[in-house]
Structures are given as C-alpha cells and as structure tokens.
Structure 1
Amino acid sequence: MSARALLIRGATVLTMDAGLGDLAGADVRVADGRIAAVGQGLRAEPGDEVIDATGMLLLPGLIDTHTHMWQGPLKGLGAAMWGMADYHKHIFSLRERVGAEDMHDATLACGMEMLDNGITTVLDFCHNVMSPEHALRALDAHRANGQRVLFAYGMLGSFATLKEDHVWRLAQVRELAASLAGDETTPLRLGVALGSLEYAGMALFEEEAATGRALKLPMTFHQNVAGQVHELEAAGLLGPDMLPVHCNPTLDAELDVLAAHGCGISFTPESEVGDGRNISVFARSHRAGVTPSLGVDVPSRVALDLFSQMRLTFWLMRNEEAEAERHAGRTPLTRYPGVPFIQPRHLLEYVTVNAARAVGLGDVLGRIAPGCLADLLLLRGGAYGPSLGDPAAHVVLQSTVADVDTVVIGGRVRKRAGQLTDLDRNDAIAASQRMRHRLFA
C-alpha cells in the first residue's frame, strides 16, 4: 500500500540542495514516497495529510554510515573502555556468545532507537554473522522496523575458522543479493562488510571484493593500519563502491589516492577519540576531496545520536585549527582567507548529502528536492526558541534528539509530535532485556 500524500507547511526548510538552498516559511509536498514540490504557498490536494510545521526546521533524514547494530542492547558495557584492547576484551569477544535470536532482538532495539532519534538511514556494518541464521534474523528485524538500511554483510567471523567459513558466507551473500534485489526505493539493500585486511589477509579480501563487484553491491571495510590504502591501490581494489572507515593513520598521499578513486570515508569521532586515535584525518580528508560522513560505530559505549557526533566533530576540527594557529604564534585568533575552514553547515552535509553518496544513493537521498526520496526530519526550534543566524548552525550546535518532532521515511510518517506512529518503544526495551538476559543471566 502506498503512503498517503503529505504536505508539510510553513517550515524553515534546509534543502541541502545547492540549487534550492534554505527556504523560510516554505512548504514541501510528498507523493508516492518522493518529494513532489518545494516552495511557498503550495496548495493541498484532496486527501493530503497536512502537517503545520510553523516554527520548526525541516531537513533531510539523518544518515549514519557506520554502526554495529548488534551492540545496541550492550549500551554502557563499553563506557569505561580504554583503547582497542579493552574493546576486544569486553565487547568484540562477546560475538561467540551472541546467537541468532540475539541478533534479531539487538537489531530491532537499535534500529527503533535510531529511528526515534531522527536517523532514517543506516549502514549496518554487521560483523557478527556467525551463522547464516544470524544474518537472516537481523534482516527480519530491519524489515520490522522499516528504517532505510544498507545491510553490510560481515565477512569477519570467528578468527579460528575464518577461511573455512568464508565459503558459506560468500554463498549466502550471493543468495541474499538475489532475494534483496530492488531499485533505489527499496528500503532494505545489501552490501558487503569486507574482512579487515590485517585479519583476513589480501587473498580473502580480494575474493570478497570480486564477489561484491560482480553482484554490484556497495562495500565497506575498517581501515585501521598504516599503509593499507597504498596496498589496496597496488592491488587495484579501490573504487567509488568502497567506503573505508576510520582511516586515522592515512597519509595525505593516501587521501589523494582515495579521492582519485571517488571514495568517501566514514568517521566515527566519539569512538575514535575514545580509542586514542589521531583525528587530524577529518580535516585533511575534507580538504583532499574525500567526502566525509559520520557514524556512531559502537552503541556499546556511544549514544545512538548523530547530533552529538556532528557537534563533537565540529569542535574537534575547530580545536585542531586553533592549535595550528597557536603553534604558529598567531594569537589571539584572527580570521583570514581559509581560516577557520570548517563551518557548522559542513557537518550537516556529512550526515545528509555526503552520507547519501556513501551508501550509494547520492542522486536520490540526503536532499529535499523534487524527485528525491521523502526521508525527512522535523525539528522543534527548542523550548526557548531557535537560534539567530544560520539554521544549519542551530541543528549542529543546539539541537538534540529531544527536538525530533516528526520522522518521515519513504513518505510514511513514522514519528509525529514526538511519538512513534507504528512502532512501540516497549518492544525495543523488551528486546534489549531478552538479549541481556541470555548473555548475562
């Protein structure tokens, strides 16, 4: 059944479209799951659902390009972690105990919370496919939630049986590629989370990439070890269908390589700072033309909240610029051409237009423009009113998940006036409790 036509009236619209810009007191009409019109004074058609958005901000739904959703119910377990050793000891090692039903419950709970928080699209980097049933049950949960999802099937399983399990994993990817086939409007799409090069080795990595390319699937991989970008370039494996994640040790020359191949990078700032990683790559990649996007990464210690990720990233990048100025003796800080480089609106681009490109939907997602998929977010201006100046700065520096009033996915209103319309938060709470009981009772 198609979604009911929708008219959103009187919002400050951040279209994130270069040709349309920001529109004050504007209307957006949605029909058949897509944006039909944007402008002032649009007339309602018979049967339209009308939402009065006066005083609110309308923007594209937020897009998370890297989260391990199976960790949703483990929130808090990684709160005191110190570096990757702690992560492997306290979180990653649990994979061997997480069953197929845990995958369903965790994915259901995580996805519902993300949707509630304004994240309409997510790249689920599912590196916990310990059996074929694990993948199937996670997919069942995604279907139940109705979030727009790129399910990146994880090739990294148990280290002890990685090579043997590779056969059935590739076979299941081929099966799922056929069953999940669709077009750009399909809410649930398949991708491949390639095995980390340092664990899987080049031979398995190449086979996975060849399979992904043959099936025309988007691919993503963790890039945590220095020199790997050059190694992948030498092997002829890089391309715009690959999304590397983190990339903290990359050199400027490697960023030039990624840019030349049309790659973006998914950064997970809170997670990376927690691991003590070098975050200079954020600004360096942006300047090099490697389009950045953002993800939560590990819900076991990071909130499912892209507003906080935008804000943290902005101030980390501003601090880096200020540190360079201080180091050069340019204090007090003064403005001159090119400095400061990073602006709040850039961060909103990271989680809309850039992220849409990262998940393979750059032509139809991440903007509010005629023909684009109608994934939308209405934000209240705050209990004490919106900010002066650039509305994008208000979103990045002032808004929180508490301001999320309305969420629309594919033209369907999934949250309205702060309440989910067709999902029950209690179901997510119960699902988290079931997984926790099975793991820790």
Structure 2
Amino acid sequence: MTPLLIRGATVLTMDAALGDLLDADVRVERGRITAVGHGLADAGAEVLDAHGMLLLPGLIDTHTHMWQGPLKGLGAAMWGMADYHRHIFSLREAFTAEDMADATFATGVEMLDNGITTALDFCHNVMSPAHAERSIEAHARTGQRVLFAYGMLGSIDKLQAEHGWRMEQVRGLARTQPSDPAAMVRLGVALASLEYAGLPLFRQEVELARELGLPMSFHQNVAGQVHELHGAGLLGPDLLPVHCNPILDAELELVAQAGCGISFTPESEVGDGRDTAVIARAHRRGITPSLGVDVPSRVALDLFSQMKLTFWLLRQEEAAAERAAGRWPLARYPGTPRAQPRHLLEYVTVNAARAVGLGEVLGRVAPGCLADLVLLRPGAYEPSLGDPAAHVVLQAGPQDVDSVIVGGALRKRGGRLLHLDRDEARAATRRVRERLFPVSVPALEKP
C-alpha cells in the first residue's frame, strides 16, 4: 500500500497530548498513522490536499442493527415498542441468509459514505448459521471496520432449544475470525436479552465469550438488571450495555466501577418514548458514553444527527435542573454548563473506540493509531468561528463528508466512493424489499 500524506488540514486529533492542529499534515503507512505535524515530508507518498478541511478520527457507531437498513422508513410512524415488535422485529423470521448479505452490505456502504468508519453490528437476526456467515462475508466486502456482535437472541419461543448450535457456531467462528486488533472484521457477542433468556442462559453466553476473549454487548431495557448482573459477578469492562434508560444511580456507579461504557441511541430512545435522563446522569458520573443509530428502519444512518440531539438533550436536562432550583434566567458558574460540544465528538471517537475494545489504537489521530480518518468540508459557506469540534457536532452533516479512510485505504475521495458503488448498494436494498414484500410495502396505521 502506497503511503498517504494528508496535507494542510485542521486536525482534531482527539488526543490529549496533541490537541487541535491548524494547517497540519498526517502521514499514513501500512494502515497506521506514522506522523502528525507540520511540513511533513511527502517522499514516496500519495498527497491528499486537505487545505480548508477538517480532519478527524473516523466516526464509530457502537449500536446498530445493520440488517434493518433496507427497512428504512417502515418504522417512521412507530409509536412505542409494541409497534416495533409488530412491524419491524417480527420481520426477522422472513429474512433469509441472502437477505442478510444484501442488507448488511447496503447498510455498510451507506454508513461509510456518511463517515462511519467503524460499527458494532448488533446482529440479533441470526436465525440460522448461514445468516451469520453471509453477514460476515458482506462486511468483508465493504471495507468498513466492524465488530460483528453475533446475536444469541433467536426466536423467543425457541431460545433454549436453539442455544446449543448458537454456542457452537460462536466457538467455530472464533477459531476462524482474526483476533488482531487491526482486523477489519472482528467477532463479538450480542447477548440474548436477559428478560427473555433468563440469567442461566445469559451466564453461559458471558462465560463462553470470556473464554474466547470476545467483547460483548446487550440490551438493558428492564429495571434492576445491572444489580442482577453485579450480584452474579458478570459485570466487566468487556461488556457494553445499551440504552439503560431505567438504570438507577447506584447501578451507574456499579457500571463505572466495572469499567463499562454505555451506548446511547438518542433518536431511537426519544422515538420510543423512553426516559432519556440517563444520558446526563451517566455523563455526570464520568462513564464513557458512546452513540449508535440503533434502528435504521426508522433513524437515518447519521452519527452527526445523534451528536446534535444528544448535546441538546444534555443541555435541556441541565437547564431543567437550574429552573427547578430557582436559577432563572440561566447564569454561568463553575462547572455549569457541564456538557460541551467537544464531549459529543469524544462520544463517537475515543469513547466509542474503548467500547469496541480498541481504545489503545482507534479513535485518535496520533502516531501508532489505526488510520481510520474522515475529512469534512466545512460546507458551501464559511466555517464556524471558534472551536472546530463545535462545528462538527452542531453544523456538519453527512453531506460534508469529503473523504473517508479506513485502515489507510481511501474508501471515499472528493465526495465519490472508491471501490464501492452506490448503485450496487441500492440494488441490494431493492432485492431485499422485493423478496420480503413481493406485492407492496406495508405501512403502519395512519392516525
């Protein structure tokens, strides 16, 4: 692979020692960043002119069900979890292994196009061994960095009966999937939901994952589960809980003590009518939050939107506390406001890298790190004044993604995908829809 020199960008390194660098260069060799600074030599390197652009670590999504990409819009009018189970989750049974391959590929291409270089694919649609195999093959085609979280939640009424073959397939995949942190596709485990599987099955899955050294994630949607897992000795830094809306403050302390992060999916949680106060409560306790899209059947594959919404949820919660204390109009004093735009960029870079088990080598623009990078044009008009991180969080969107680099390889340049085809991704989506809905696409009930 020819070395790459990115020349003249405003670099948001997200590295405490390096900070932000103006008109700076980044050199990439053999998939890693080898130098960050000014006036770097371009000997033997392909030069990418980035003057006027923002360079930042590739965005990392820590919770998306990528098989739902072709269902985009089907969940637009959903109202609560009953709608989700009826109109989206129930379609798992109709997805074939070929559908999984097409859906995973199409979703991965769109995520890369939008600057999401790494995703935790919480694949809770492994309805047969072939479903997992074809999904992994599709991930390998896109060039996106993926933690494929093998879903242990099959048909709810067959969990016990099917548990054996799922456990065995995870063992088999662990023997064949690379464990190298630089691998483009790594294996993890999406644990069966505790409320469906019960603690005995859940414990077996955690013990298997730890035996194999696989990171884990699970849906935490029911009150009291963190206390239950703590009592069972199952909490640990290799476990990523998602949502956590009903979690108590005392349970947040247990999560922090165990070294866990938390993945929030703010648009999805607002859409489901869930209490979003957990985002601010976790932020205050120094837990390392990260963000995910969750359900592309309803929510755009866009981490910029997730950052914006989360920032305003944090600010709204803090303002409500100030008003409740009689402090109105708002006034600054030490420690308030707590949430800053840069925190949200940390959520989808350094924090998210830790969440997917790559905190030492991903999520920063620093020598030795994996070269997963995004270049943003500041838009058709003038860029924001002040903190460039605030521009990324509050002003930017997928339309500003100029170039995407994963593992040192250019996947998008000058707004154009390389070695990938948007038409091919659209065709894959159409194939899934035609197989699922041969007559017409059903719609949710209108009000």
1:383 to 370, 380, 385: 380
What SS does the aligned partner of 2:218 have? strand
Match of 2:323 in 1: 326
What SS does the aligned partner of 1:112 have? helix
2:226 to 229, 244, 248: 229
**How many angstroms apart in 2 are the aligned matches of 1:290 and 1:392?**
21
1:429 Cα offset (Å): 0.2
**How many angstroms apart in 1 are the aligned matches of 2:59 and 2:191?**
24
What SS does the aligned partner of 1:423 have? coil
Matched, 1:196 2:203: no
Instruction: Output the aligned Cα RMSD.
Output: 0.6
**How many angstroms apart in 1 are the aligned matches of 2:5 and 2:143?**
21
1:19 to 17, 30, 33: 17
**How many angstroms apart in 1 are the aligned matches of 2:218 and 2:2?**
38
Matched, 1:413 2:406: no
- What letter matches 1:7 in structure 2? L
Match of 1:315 in 2: 312
1:354 to 345, 351, 356: 351
Which shows bigger deviation, 81-90 or 321-330?
321-330
Match of 1:124 in 2: 121
- What letter matches 1:41 in structure 2? G
**How many angstroms apart in 1 are the aligned matches of 2:6 and 2:12?**
13
**How many angstroms apart in 2 are the aligned matches of 1:182 and 1:231?**
30
- What letter matches 2:304 in structure 1? F
Structure 1 residues without counterparts, runs of 5 or longer = none
Post-superposition, which runs of at least 4 consecutive aligned residues in structure 1 deviate over 2 A?
none
1:274 to 271, 275, 283: 271
Match of 2:444 in 1: none
What SS does the aligned partner of 1:189 have? strand
Matched, 1:150 2:147: yes
The count of residues paired between Structure 1 and Structure 2 equals 438
Match of 1:37 in 2: 35
What SS does the aligned partner of 2:85 have? helix
Alpha-carbon displacement from aligned partner over 1:70-128 (angstroms, at most 9, x marks no partner) = 00000000000011111001000000111100000000000000000000000000000
**How many angstroms apart in 2 are the aligned matches of 1:289 and 1:323?**
20
Match of 1:115 in 2: 112
What SS does the aligned partner of 1:383 have? coil
Instruction: Determine if contact 1:4/1:412 at 8 Å carries over to the other structure.
Output: no
What SS does the aligned partner of 2:274 have? coil
**How many angstroms apart in 2 are the aligned matches of 1:71 and 1:235?**
33
Which shows bigger deviation, 158-167 or 344-353?
158-167
**How many angstroms apart in 2 are the aligned matches of 1:290 and 1:40?**
34
What SS does the aligned partner of 2:138 have? helix
Match of 2:7 in 1: 9
1:42 Cα offset (Å): 0.5
Match of 1:50 in 2: 47
**How many angstroms apart in 2 are the aligned matches of 1:145 and 1:51?**
22
**How many angstroms apart in 2 are the aligned matches of 1:297 and 1:415?**
24
What SS does the aligned partner of 1:44 have? coil
The within-5 A match list for 1:40-439 is 40-46=38-44, 48-439=45-436
Instruction: Determine if contact 1:125/1:152 at 8 Å carries over to the other structure.
Output: yes
**How many angstroms apart in 2 are the aligned matches of 1:289 and 1:316?**
17
**How many angstroms apart in 2 are the aligned matches of 1:258 and 1:332?**
35
Length-normalised TM-score, structure 2: 0.97
What SS does the aligned partner of 2:25 have? strand
1:325 Cα offset (Å): 1.1
Structure 2 residues without counterparts, runs of 5 or longer = 439-447
- What letter matches 1:100 in structure 2? A
What SS does the aligned partner of 1:110 have? helix
**How many angstroms apart in 2 are the aligned matches of 1:45 and 1:364?**
25
Alpha-carbon displacement from aligned partner over 1:154-200 (angstroms, at most 9, x marks no partner) = 00000121111100000000000010023111110000000000001
- What letter matches 1:33 in structure 2? G
What SS does the aligned partner of 1:385 have? coil
**How many angstroms apart in 1 are the aligned matches of 2:128 and 2:389?**
43
1:289 Cα offset (Å): 2.4
1:328 Cα offset (Å): 1.5
**How many angstroms apart in 2 are the aligned matches of 1:175 and 1:287?**
41
What SS does the aligned partner of 2:329 have? coil
Alpha-carbon displacement from aligned partner over 1:310-346 (angstroms, at most 9, x marks no partner) = 0000001101111111122211111111110000000
**How many angstroms apart in 2 are the aligned matches of 1:165 and 1:290?**
35
**How many angstroms apart in 2 are the aligned matches of 1:184 and 1:320?**
37
- What letter matches 2:94 in structure 1? R
